[in-house]
Amino acid sequence: MGLAGLGLLCGAAFAQSPPRTLTYSLGWGLCATEGGNCWFPGLVRDVAYGANGGYIYLLGLKDVVKCTNGEFWDKDPQPGVSKSCYVYNGPSRLANSTMCAPENGTCSVTGPRTVWYGSNGQFTPKVITQEDTATTSVPCNNSNFGGDPNQGLAKFCLITP
C-alpha cells in the first residue's frame, strides 16, 4: 500500500482498507488513535476519522490535525466506538483545485467537474455532470450545497477535475 516513510511521520503505520465513502487509489495509513495528533509535516493531505466503515473527512490539511470529534465537523461518525485517523498516502484531492468564487459568489464551470464549498478542511462536494463544452453557473452558498459546512467562518468554492 505504499506506507514507506509513513511510520516516521505518524507513529506506527498499519495497512488499512480505504474508507468506504470516498475512493482513493493509493490507500490510507493509520496516523493516530482518537485524541491523538495525526502528523504529516510539510505535506497537504486528506484525513479520514472514524471506524468500521463510518468516516468523516477533512480535505487539504497541512502538517497536523487532532483526531477528535471537535476537529471533524463536531460530529461523531461512530458513537460509542473508539475511532482513529487515517491519512491518505497521496496528495490531497484538493491539491490541483482552483478557487472559483468566494462565499455568495458564482462559479462558472465548463465540462464535468466537482465543485467544493467550505473552508479549513471542511468541504462539501457537488458533482457537475455535463458535456465537455457545456458551461453552467454554480452558486457558492449554503443553500446550494445543503447547509453550512463550517459555521461562523468565511467560505469559498474550489473546482477539481
Q: Could you read off the pLDDT of 75-126 as tens digits, one per residue?
A: 899 999 999 999 999 999 898 899 999 999 999 999 999 999 999 889 999 9
Place of cell 471506524: 51
Could you tell me where the DSSP H helices lie in 18-125? none
Clarify whether residues 82 and 23 are in a common domain.
Answer: yes
pLDDT band at 20 (very low <50, low <70, confident <90, very high): low
Q: Coil, strand or helix: which one is 69?
A: helix
Give pLDDT tens digits for 127-151.
999 898 999 999 999 999 999 988 8
CA 119, CA 114: separation in Å to the nearest integer?
Answer: 16
**Last residue of a domain, which of 88, 115, 137?**
88
CA 61, CA 63: separation in Å to the nearest integer?
Answer: 7
Is 1 inside any structural domain?
no
As a whole number, the mean pLDDT across the chain is 84
Clarify whether residues 83 and 108 are in a common domain.
Answer: no
- If one counts the domains in the chain, the total is 2
Query: How confident is the model at residue 22, as a pLDDT?
Result: 59
Assess contact for 83 and 34: CB atoms under 8 A. Answer: yes
Clarify whether residues 13 and 78 are in a common domain.
Answer: yes
Assess contact for 14 and 72: CB atoms under 8 A. Answer: no
Query: How confident is the model at residue 1, as a pLDDT?
Result: 27
Between 12 and 41, the higher pLDDT residue: 41
Place of cell 490535525: 65
Question: Which residues constitute the domain of residue 20?
Answer: 6-88
**Last residue of a domain, which of 64, 88, 112?**
88
Is 22 inside any structural domain?
yes
Phi and psi at residue 26, to the nearest 5°: -90, -5
Is residue 7's pLDDT more than 50? no
CA 74, CA 84: separation in Å to the nearest integer?
Answer: 15
Assess contact for 64 and 39: CB atoms under 8 A. Answer: yes
pTM above 0.85, yes or no: no
Is 93 inside any structural domain?
no
Clarify whether residues 62 and 127 are in a common domain.
Answer: no
Query: How confident is the model at residue 40, as a pLDDT?
Result: 94
**Last residue of a domain, which of 49, 64, 88?**
88
Clarify whether residues 67 and 24 are in a common domain.
Answer: yes
Is 73 inside any structural domain?
yes
- State the average pLDDT over residues 40-62: 90
